[in-house]
Amino acid sequence: MTQSNDPTHAFAAEWLAGLLDAIHRNLEPAEQGRLFEGCALVHYRMAGMDEIVARYAGDGTGGRPIVLLAHMDVVAAKREDWTRDPFTLVEENGYFFGRGTSDIKGDLALIAATFIRLKAEGFVPTRDLIIAFSGDEETDMATTRSLVGKHRALLRDPEFALNADGGVGVLDETTGEAAVYYVQGAEKLYATYELNVRNPGGHSSEPRLDNAIYQLADALKAVEAYHFPAMWNDWTIGSFRASGAVTPGALGEAMKRFAANPRDEAAANVLYENPSYVGLTRTTCIPTRLTAGHADNALPQSATATVNCRIFPGVGFEPVRAALAHVVGEGVEVRLTDEGTPSEASPMREDVMTAVANAVHASYPGTPIVPQMAAYATDGSVFRGAGIPTYGVSGVFIKDSESFSHGLNERVPVRSFYNGLTHWYVLIKQLAGR
């Protein structure tokens, strides 16, 4: 994994910690003792990196705490490839440019600003609000694993988490108006397997009947022919129901039929043929690399294929390995070489869905709220894996064509960013207010 080269990373955590500390020191200096209880700030060095945990104490009448989750790190950015300095925030033509503006320092700033605003207004939440800003989401997620593991007491047995690094509002490509808002309640599991065939080899002038490359090629054709069984959850069904209503032709029909009856194999097969939707219907495994042989004039002694899988939530690594091993047959070794964090889909909660709808509609009235399962994985998978239901509810709206997370010239529309302040404010007041 590539480490971030963000020169601001070193002081981002310091700065945020200072900011959150200042919230209660400056606003209520007379109440230092009570305030430490009220907004305790813990600036932990977990896994050798910074993770900020800040608690905004509630009166407890509203139930168990809510965690607000975001990450302080960003994906590396090459200065020379960018039009502007990726690590200096630039406002230009109605956009904020900079690495992390959309993934996910923008939402992180919105959450911090919302805490400041609520505190200034004297808001007392009905339940604890706990900020958890992690330090290495884009690489190892070690800080988050450490938080839900060794330092779990800091989270005070939360009921669920709201993840800034998931969910998104989409702006229409032509009009720029809000088109749809996705709430993310599940993430697929990342896994890489290696298929390996060994052979005694020999001189290529005396070919054997068994050949490692032929055998591996046959194994890969078998993987190609195999379809993992169709699966579904509330998030994928909700997602197909919504997209089916607005997608024309056979594809839209298939979405509607699958949403109505996910056992409809014909519908599932239509979706299987579409790269954007196949992953929402099942586990997928696809070869991504090949290596074999050691000399032009020698029979191959080994042949290896890398197969990358995106596993449906709720299914573990071993059943997928076993399925692959069964499909490729004897003589092909299948082993897991890289793995994400297993997590179940989170239950769809009425209170969260309603609060998100109100938060979105405060700035974008009438926008459809659509459930989503993501093909990528965030800190949310670590939380879900630790048994904490997690909902991706970013406050930012952006056009698909302008979404450059992890890419060049990352940006966020200025108007959309400021609407994000309303988003988090409404969301928190709904879920932790009276």
- Binding residues for Zn ion, rule: CB under 5 A, are 103-104, 165
Structure tokens, 6: 């963000």
Contacts of residue 127, Cβ cutoff 8 Å, sequence gap at least 6: 58, 60, 61, 62, 63, 64, 65, 66, 159, 432
**Residues 431, 355: contact at Cβ < 8 Å?**
yes
Distance in Å, CB of 97 to Zn ion, minimum: 17
Task: Tell the smallest beta-carbon distance from residue 137 to Zn ion (Å).
Answer: 6
104/171 with CB nearer Zn ion:
104
Q: How many CA atoms lie within 13 A of 189 on its CB side?
A: 26
Cβ 37 to Zn ion shortest distance, Å: 32
* Closest distance to Zn ion from the beta carbon of 74 (Å): 8
Q: Which is nearer to Zn ion, 128 or 136 (CB)?
A: 136
Query: How would you classify residue 299: left for phi > 0, otherwise alpha for psi between -120 and 50, otherwise beta?
Result: beta
Minimum separation from the CB atom of position 103 to Zn ion (A):
4
In 3D, which of 231, 47, 18 has the Cα closest to residue 140? 47
Closest CB to Zn ion among 13 and 267? 13
Closest distance of CB 369 from Zn ion, Å? 21
> Is 244 or 392 the residue whose CB approaches Zn ion more closely?
392
| Cα–Cα nearest to 414, from 167, 138, 175, 110 | 110
* DSSP helix/strand/coil, 417: helix
CA–CA separation, 123 vs 429, rounded Å? 9
Q: Which of 180, 59, 55, 72 is nearest to 129 (CA)?
A: 55
How far is the C-alpha of 299 from the C-alpha of 280, rounded, in Å? 41
- Residue ranges of alpha helices (H) inside 149-287 are 212-225, 234-246, 249-260, 265-272, 278-281
Element (H, E) at 113: helix 105-120
Distance CA 177, CA 370 (A): 17
Judged by beta carbon, residue 103 or residue 128, the one nearer Zn ion is 103
Strand order in the sheet with 90-92: 90-92, 95-97, 411-413
Angle, vertex CA 20, rays to CA 99 and CA 132, nearest 5: 65
In whole angstroms, the minimum distance from the beta carbon of 164 to Zn ion comes to 8
Q: How far is the CB of 12 from Zn ion (least distance, A)?
A: 14
In the complex, least distance from residue 393 CB atom to Zn ion, rounded to whole angstroms: 14
Outline where DSSP puts E strands in 93-188: 95-97, 129-134, 160-163, 168-171, 178-187
Q: How far is the CB of 106 from Zn ion (least distance, A)?
A: 10
